[in-house]
Amino acid sequence: MEKDISKYIKISDFADLCKTNRKTLIYYDKENIFKPKYKDSKGYRYYHISQYDSFSVLMQLREIGVSLGEIKEYLDNRSPEEFLNLLNKEREKTKLKIKNLNNIIKNVENKISTTEEGINSLTKKEPYIEFCKDEYFNTVDIGNYYFDGIIKGVTELVNKNERENIISGFPIGAIVWKEDILKGNYFNISKLIMKVSKNDNFNFLKKEKGLYAVINHSGPYEETKKSYKKLLRFILENGYEICSDSYEEGLLDYLSTRNEKEFLTKISVRIKEYE
């Protein structure tokens, strides 16, 4: 004898209610994951409104990465205690995913900030002076500029950030010692750097606040020599002298432009009035 189906919901209507589709409900039924409340003699599936909450939980579990196999295993051995264990386990997984997503957001925001600065700096063709606030950098020493040293240094800096769980998103830059700048050894990189947020738990390099002479080098890194010369001439002509190492920070690189001639590197050095 057929049941009175007036209190049941047709599969299409239940699919609409749950924001899914008939094929998914049919598949879950066949796999014994989520079955209809009633099936008539013709095989038509009917659901009850009380099943909505259960299906919603199932969909939430799928959304946070619980496999159908795990869900089926739980359903085959379900109990209030097992359900609580499942929810607690997935809560911790979800917290970790949220943390990772927040880290991605911070990285993206920092990349946006750097790219916006690069775009806004394209019109600044000549050296200029600006006041900079304190900034902090994670660093690795690499000695003088050798290709192998750069590659190893980049690897070490990236691994160091990962070990210390440091969120950056800023490009890798470099430091050239003051003495090498004055000698014209502009490619003698002493450190690789990556800007970070202030964190007292780590011994970051502090870029002191103060007046900085800046030039935005346009073009390949190998051509920064001409920009350094231009910057030094500007500093001297305006009655200043260098009192720090230089900081080289990429603003626009291969991620934002295909043309190496459009790369933009910000070179800054702290200055004081000539004594």
Q: Is it true that 5-78 and 115-273 share their CATH fold?
A: no
Are residues 224 and 265 in contact, defined by beta-carbon separation less than 8 angstroms?
yes
Tally of CA atoms within 13 A in the half-sphere of 208 that contains its CB? 10
Are residues 1 and 38 in contact, defined by beta-carbon separation less than 8 angstroms?
no
Q: What is the mean pLDDT of the chain?
A: 88
Q: Which of 56-70, 87-101, 243-257 has the lowest mean pLDDT?
A: 56-70
5-78 has which fold? Multidrug-efflux Transporter Regulator; Chain: A; Domain 2 (1.10.1660)
Average pLDDT over residues 17-29: 93
pLDDT at residue 57, as a whole number = 84
pLDDT tens digit sequence for 186-219: 988 889 999 987 665 667 889 999 999 999 999 9
pLDDT at residue 184, as a whole number = 93
Q: What is the pTM of this model?
A: 0.74
219: left (phi over 0), alpha (psi -120 to 50) or beta: left
Please report which confidence band the pLDDT of residue 28 belongs to, taking 50, 70 and 90 as the band edges. very high
Give me the phi and psi of 264, to 5 degrees please.
Answer: -135, 125
Please report which confidence band the pLDDT of residue 227 belongs to, taking 50, 70 and 90 as the band edges. very high
Superfamily for the 115-273 domain? Regulatory factor, effector binding domain (3.20.80.10)
Does pLDDT of 237 surpass 90?
A: yes
* Structure-model confidence comparison of residues 22 and 83, the more confident one: 22
Please list, in sequence order, all residues whose beta carbon lies within 8 angstroms of the beta carbon of residue 214, skipping any fewer than 6 positions away.
127, 128, 129, 130, 231, 266, 267, 268
pLDDT at residue 256, as a whole number = 83
pLDDT at residue 200, as a whole number = 57
Domain residue limits, the chain: 5-78, 115-273
* N-terminal to C-terminal alpha carbon distance within the chain: 105
pLDDT tens digit sequence for 136-184: 998 988 865 455 667 788 888 888 888 887 877 888 899 999 999 999 9
Average pLDDT over residues 44-53: 92
Q: Which residues, listed in sequence order, are joined to residue 233 by a DSSP beta bridge?
A: none
Are residues 269 and 245 in contact, defined by beta-carbon separation less than 8 angstroms?
yes
Distance CA 150, CA 152 (A): 6
Distance CA 53, CA 160 (A): 46
Per the structure block, which two tokens stand in for 101?
Answer: 């997503």
Please list, in sequence order, all residues whose beta carbon lies within 8 angstroms of the beta carbon of residue 167, skipping any fewer than 6 positions away.
103, 106, 107, 196, 197
* Structure-model confidence comparison of residues 31 and 151, the more confident one: 31
pLDDT at residue 147, as a whole number = 55
Supply the Cα-derived Rg of the chain in whole angstroms.
Answer: 30
Average pLDDT over residues 70-91: 84
